Structure 1
């Protein structure tokens, strides 16, 4: 997605204030009409400061704000512009996504999801091993260590063998 400079956005604010619509704004700034429409809508919803500050950082909204905005939009039938203005939401797509999640899953769908991999199940502590099991495990470990050392010696001997090119 292309990012537009602050100067372009400031020029858009001037033109919208002069009464330019999405088509004439699109032509004047050489931007797609869909972007001009979003900018016009967002500017009217959140105002100049919030509009010019968009894109400089990712804004995070808490659960209560998301829930209130989704309820206002879905349950109370407020317009998108009213909801964005009331709750200070600068992104129309976020509001649409919250409304969709609220319709499909209710308030719980807007709760933050846990990050990362789920924790390993602690379960029952491992049973203590018998002396025989411990010795068998140690025997397997020692056999693997001996096999590794034998392979290492064979590789070193092959490197030193006469007739081989040393690298």
Structure 2
């Protein structure tokens, strides 16, 4: 049996959180009841409000990828249209609040072009430059004269 190490909190904790949310308990008392950090429970509450209990219980594992059009539409709806973030998450199928907040910030700063995906991989010309040669070591011999070289170096 393999354990998914990306999931920090077990299914039972999230199941109990759903029960508490159904009962109308807020994130602070739920966090204290579950002994889970308040920010984590707040994220669970966002997902619960946007997608329901099924999405909260199936959380974890694979990260979602969003197209450029989805990013622009969601950020524009929140920033320009004044849509609530939970509503935007539900409408555009965004599973986490974090990317939506990042997209909104980028959209405010640079418009739609700031949400374009960047180039993938290592940039061209980023290889390390070849060394000119091995440095010559200098040391003093007990007689007072200086010699150069070393056990792995040729004499100059």
Structure-1-length-normalised TM-score:
0.66
Q: Which residue, out of 4, 7, 32, partners 2:9?
A: 4
- CA distance in 1 between partners of 2:55 and 2:66 (Å): 15
Q: Which residue, out of 22, 32, 37, partners 1:17?
A: 22
Q: Which runs of 5 or more residues in structure 2 are unaligned?
A: 1-5, 126-151
Larger Rg: 1
- Deviating beyond 3 angstroms after TM superposition, the runs of 4 or more aligned structure 1 residues are none
Task: Give the corresponding residue for 2:34.
Answer: 29
Contact 1:16/1:40 (8 A) holds in 2: yes
Is 2:90 the partner of 1:88? no
Task: Give the corresponding residue for 2:102.
Answer: 97
CA RMSD of aligned residues (A): 2.0
Q: Which runs of 5 or more residues in structure 1 are unaligned?
A: 121-154, 156-167
- CA distance in 2 between partners of 1:8 and 1:86 (Å): 27
- Structure 1 or 2: more helix by fraction: 1
- CA distance in 1 between partners of 2:61 and 2:52 (Å): 16
1:119 CA displacement: 4.6
CA offsets 1:94-118 (integer angstroms, 9 cap, x no match): 1000001111111111111111134
Q: Which residue, out of 102, 115, 119, partners 1:114?
A: 119
Moved more, 64-73 or 11-20: 11-20
Task: Give the corresponding residue for 1:59.
Answer: 64
Contact 2:7/2:61 (8 A) holds in 1: no
Name the CA shift for 1:33/1:117 in 2 (closer, same or farther; >3 Å).
closer
Contact 1:46/1:89 (8 A) holds in 2: no
Structure-2-length-normalised TM-score:
0.71
